[in-house]
Amino acid sequence: MAAVTSRSQQFTRPLAIVAVIVVTLVFLSPIYWIASTAFKPRNQATSVPPTVVFTPEVTPFIKLFTKRVQLKEKVDPAVYEAAPWWEKAVYDGGERVLKVGDEPQLSQYPNRFWNSLIISVVSTVLAVSMGTITAYGFSRFRMKGEADLLFFILSTRMLPPVVVAIPMFLMYRSFELTDTHIGLIILYTAFNLSFSVWLMKGFIDEIPKEYEEAALVDGYTRMQAFFKIVLPEAATGIAATAVFCFITAWNEYAFALIMTNRRAQTAPPFIPSQIGSGLPEWTVIAAGTVLFLLPVAIFTFLLRNHLLRGVTFGAIRK
């Protein structure tokens, strides 16, 4: 009977492999398209028919980071020759980099990227550290109404951001927390905390209680056992949870759109807002998108074995 299954599998194999290749290419083509647009010359980004073969250039990335104005007349050849390569690239596109003295002026992008980074990192550290100790509490001790408390914790994660944002906006306004880093950090910590508790509980449940019990018998206090036995054992879980929380905060749009507009604005509301004014420069927008998506793509590979657990709040392990 083993022969039956293997024969039928052999029969479908070449066809299935072709299907896998086609499906993978179709699925990745949108990502390929945005990534390739980031390296296209400006006139080839929106050409008809779409440009597939082109000479890649990094000009969009230079434009992404600098403030520029349209050139009114042709550049003085002497000035052009004296300019560094990245400035020449901007001249070639009919624009000039704005400068203060000799320093090029930076666009808003690096600032928005930095805001995203700092807000995501701080909220992740807070959510994961609180989540880990709470998960330990739920994993090791019994409590009356434990299931209800855990449901309550998870339900806070399910609330639509716009629903939470209405009262939070009013409160932030009276505490002057709108458009501040700390304001978004609090919101993202709250949003990730429930996820972190559920995911970490799954990881800590898997660490045998006997490890701590042995340590307690050896004269450790419960706190020592937690820090010296449980935390090292849970390191992988903590790392996976942290990466998930980071990605969630990094990607979040609705809260950032509502609560920030300048000082603390993160990249997700900023990147689409560039379309608003005039003719959108798709190559520059694509460059900003690629830099923004890159960390998430790398993290997805690091997380690959924990994805299932992550998307089901730790309920389903492999």
Partner 1 sequence: MAVLATLEPTSRAAARGWSDLTIRNLFILPTIAFLIIFNIFPLLYSLGFSFTEYRVSMNKPAEFVGFRNYAELLADPGIWANFTTTAQYVIVSVGGQMIVGFGLALLLNRPFPFKGLVTTLLMLPMMLSPAVVGLFWKLLYDPSWGPINYALGIGKFEWLTSRTNALFAVAITDIWMWSPFVMLLSLAGLSAIPKHLYEAAAIDRASAWYTFRRITLPLVAPLLLIALIFRTMEAFKAFDLPFIMSTASVETVAISLYQMAFQGWDTGRASALAYIVLIVVLCITNIYVKYLNKVKER
Subset of 186-245 contacting partner 1 (CB under 8 A): 186-187, 189-190, 193-194, 197, 209, 212-213, 216-217, 219, 221-224, 226
Q: How far is the CB of 213 from partner 1 (least distance, A)?
A: 6
Give the other-Cβ count within 10 Å of 318's Cβ: 7
Q: How far is the CB of 233 from partner 1 (least distance, A)?
A: 16
> Would you say 149 and 143 are in contact if contact means Cβ atoms under 8 Å apart?
yes
The residue range among 88-96, 117-125, 156-164, 227-235 that interacts with partner 1, by the rule CB under 8 A, is 156-164
Q: How far is the CB of 82 from partner 1 (least distance, A)?
A: 37
Q: How far is the CB of 92 from partner 1 (least distance, A)?
A: 22
Residue placing its CB nearer to partner 1 in the complex, 100 or 166: 166
Distance CA 18, CA 295 (A): 30
Please select the residue that binds partner 1; options are 106, 170, 182, 235, rule is CB under 8 A.
Answer: 170
Give the other-Cβ count within 10 Å of 1's Cβ: 5
Distance CA 266, CA 249 (A): 10
Tell whether residue 153 is a contact of partner 1 (CB under 8 A): yes
Residue placing its CB nearer to partner 1 in the complex, 82 or 170: 170
Tell whether residue 53 is a contact of partner 1 (CB under 8 A): no
Look-up of token digits 């629903």: 163
Would you state the structure tokens that stand for residue 207, as one six-digit string?
Answer: 């660490």
Work out whether the CA dihedral 28, 30, 35, 41 comes out positive or negative. Answer: positive
Distance CA 68, CA 281 (A): 12
Residue placing its CB nearer to partner 1 in the complex, 155 or 236: 155
Please select the residue that binds partner 1; options are 144, 276, 277, 278, rule is CB under 8 A.
Answer: 144
Of 59-88, binders to partner 1 (CB under 8 A) are: none
Write the CB contacts of 180 (distance below 8 Å, at least 6 apart in sequence). 263, 264
Element (DSSP H or E) covering residue 191: helix 181-205
Residue placing its CB nearer to partner 1 in the complex, 99 or 317: 317
